[in-house]
Structure 1
Amino acid sequence: MASLFSFSAPMDIDVRLNDEHERRTVDVKLDGSAKESLPVYLDGESIQGTVVIQARNGKKLQHDGIKVELVGSIEMFFDRGNRYEFLSLAQELGTPGGELRQSETLPFEFKDVEMMYESYSGVNVKLRYFLRVTIMRRMAEVTKEREIWVHSFRLPPDVNNAIKMEVGIEDCLHIEFEYNKSKYHLKDVIVGKIYFLLVRIKIKHMELSIIRRETTGNAPNQYNESETITKFEIMDGAPVRGETIPIRLFLGGFELTPTFRDVNKKFSARYYLNLVLVDEENRRYFKQQEITFFRIPEN
């Protein structure tokens, strides 16, 4: 994120992370089509680095203290005036009455930080972690932020039952469909089958989609946004009774996040498999099933 101070600030601030060039990065969407590459940290890791402060024009600068903070916050896009901070750690890098001469390099470390929520950038909400450097001065504070991205791994669930459901219209259509499990890691494969037990309407095609449903806020000020992550056709043409349609969907190529449920009582992001049948009169029949995504370490 860009610095929050104006161009008239008498110093430049740079936040450098010790091993940022060796770390995995993720590209995070900004406003418009631009993206920002952020280093990835894991829950429980230490965050080490240096703050480099360069005084402009070689002038000596008095200050009333320097600190660096590690902040975790949730920002609602419909409530931009408020930022809900669930993590706030601080270290003093300079005491009041100090003086900056040309260039200063100040090390910092936040050790074994519990970052209990994973970073998330959605339609109406963003959960972010950032380092914030503040230089207190008599006239005005000077601040600079540096964002990081956090992943949180989870063990595979002990119980992961298959999904079996029926959908139909009395005396017209009867379908059974099943998926091999209900919980998937982000590089997993969804495997399933669809059985046509009764077909008395003319089906034109069938499609399967993954939908992310984001819920933010609390009633009565609650917002729901649904986003189609991917959609593909699994059948073209009319099926016959007794026909079976296989499903195999590789998840690795999509921009998925883990499932989030009631994060800090501020938002949720849930995923659904949406099966849609379209008949020759363009009537749509659908069945939706919630599934769970989780993150595991990558090889």
Structure 2
Amino acid sequence: MTEIFDRYLSYLKETDASTHTVSGYRKDLRAFSEWYRDTYGEEPEPEKMTSIDLREYQSWMRNVKGLKPNTVNRRMKAVKSWLSWCVDRGLAPRLPDFPRGVPEAKGAPEALDRVEVNRLLREVEKEGNARDAALVRLMLSCGLRVSEAVTLQVEDVDVGERHGVIVVRNGKGGKYREAPVPPAARKAIREWLAVREKKHPGSPWLFPGACPEKHLTACAAWRVVKKYAWKARIPDLHPHTLRHTCATNMLRAGANLVEVASVLGHARLDTTAVYTKPSMAELARAAERGEV
């Protein structure tokens, strides 16, 4: 990738963008850079970029590569963010017109069903690792993002026999929120706190990393989730699926959108409303019931 891309990615890091965000933008901009070189035989320079180039890139992704709409839109968003940064710094005279985004057929986010949840928790319990149990429960029962779970400090956790609150001081977009902790999660966290005090005295983090001064990384937490998913025979499980499962279970149990949005830290109710959409499995069952 060219120096101008590297400068933009450095800017993202300086704005406290998450490691996941920076990594995603790097991959998407690299894909654009490779397409541009293969198509025009030169490096993508921001001052030369035209609306025609952008339409061609979108068309190539859709019709030649056959990428899904959300992938096409995500990559175009990365290019637009980069070019906007270039314009702000005088590296390009103007922002070219971007083509309309590709319509997406959005369904409900993928969530685990009850049988899968039980298989996953069974494997966690069999392993007997108090840290892993607390980590999985924070995502599955409290709806925390993996990045939010690993950056919790001990002082952010207040759990007892009959009460429990988690303070997320720096959620997505820097938002602060407090999330309730239900009974099973409270038990898992209390058990981990008892073990943690002996293993990592003096560390401020709820989940210390290899170096007690630093917290467990998101990648390490992801590996924890993937390990139990593999044992539970749940392929391609992503840690975010646990957050989706938490939201779906709350709605199915009778919680309203405002309550679920507050737990998850959503600023807009339409973000939470996606969990009310039927899954493909539910649609398939409905179609079977209606088949003549």
Same fold, TM-score > 0.5, yes or no: no
Tell which structure's C-alpha radius of gyration is larger.
Answer: 1
TM-score (norm 1): 0.26
Q: Which has the higher strand share?
A: 1
User: Does 1 or 2 have the higher relative contact order (CA < 8 Å, sep 6+)?
Assistant: 2
Q: Which has the higher helix share?
A: 2
